[in-house]
Amino acid sequence: MFSFSKMQGAGNDFVVIDAIKNQFEYSLPVLSSYICNRHYGVGADGVILLYQSETEDFKMRIFNQDGTEAEMCGNGIRCLAKYIFEKGLTDKTEFSIETLAGAKKVKLELENKKVLSVKVNMGSPDIDCIKYMIEIEEKQYYVYPVSLGNPHAVCFVKDVENFDVAKVGPILENYKYFPNKTNVEFVQIVDKQNIKIRVWERGVGETNACGTGACASSMIAIKEKFIENNVTVELKGGKLKIYYEKESQEMILEGEAEFVFDGQIEMM
């Protein structure tokens, strides 16, 4: 029996577990798949585990629904930052979290000692100069590979709400150009300050949001001069703010995070 918190950021939901208190003997991929199952487990897009870090203030590991470990998650790290502060594990409003994609600095915006929003320095995206043309059933899709520690493929479309994400998403996720699979973002440019995105997440399927995907999409849109440096990203689960620091070329992600409920689960 161990305790957990169900949390969400822009509709991207997670089970957060304090692995400092809970010493697991289970296989983490198996544990994560069981917990994420929406019929037999708690139900979530991913499981986030909190650890002590030898180099930063805290350490985060995140596993997808299918049990694969992800390098980073922008919505997940905001949820974890809120969890750390509101569970009394720190009194700092700025701290760093170790991830497989490197250390990420977070800054909390508070009101009455509650976290209203979290800013995350996502670093500088690694952009491949190549733009791939992929043909699916005689239709051409142009995708831009981007890495924020985890892989993304950004694809611009005219009408994202009516786009067949469930059909095209898994094909691009598993395409030969992406040996480790990839997250896929389908992006519609609304105007210079606003974009809409639907996300096909590696190892999960379509999700309500993806923080790293929002950053990847914004970065490509900025490079292509479709949008300005600061943009509001509308996803199925809500809105995120992206700020591009031109001098450092770093992306700042800002958004809310919320507790859904606390609970306990016993592994059979």
Q: Which residue ranges form the domains of the chain, and what is each CATH number?
A: 2-121+255-265 (3.10.310.10), 126-247 (3.10.310.10)
Q: Are 238 and 207 in contact (CB under 8 A)?
A: no
Q: Are 95 and 89 in contact (CB under 8 A)?
A: no
What's the confidence (pLDDT) of residue 268? 63
Give the residue from 6, 12, 7 showing the smallest Cα distance to 214: 12
**Would residue 79 show up in a list of annotated catalytic residues for this protein?**
no
What's the confidence (pLDDT) of residue 47? 97
Which one of 79, 155, 210, 215 is the catalytic residue? Answer: 210
What's the confidence (pLDDT) of residue 165? 98
Which one of 73, 79, 155, 215 is the catalytic residue? Answer: 73
**Would residue 155 show up in a list of annotated catalytic residues for this protein?**
no
Q: Are 7 and 14 in contact (CB under 8 A)?
A: yes
β-pair type (230-235, 194-201): parallel
What's the confidence (pLDDT) of residue 25? 77
What are the average pLDDT values for consecutive 10-residue runs of the chain, which has 268 residues?
Answer: 94 96 85 94 96 98 95 97 98 98 97 96 87 95 95 97 98 95 98 98 95 96 95 97 93 97 86
DSSP state of 57: S
Q: Are 78 and 41 in contact (CB under 8 A)?
A: no
> Which residues lie closer than 8 Å to 3 by C-beta, 6 or more apart?
17, 18, 21, 22, 262, 263, 264
Give one DSSP letter per residue of 185-226, joined into a string: EEEEEEETTEEEEEEEETTTEEES--HHHHHHHHHHHHHTTS
Only one residue has tokens 């915006």, namely: 109
- Strand (E) or helix (H) holding 81: helix 74-86
β-pair type (46-51, 12-18): parallel
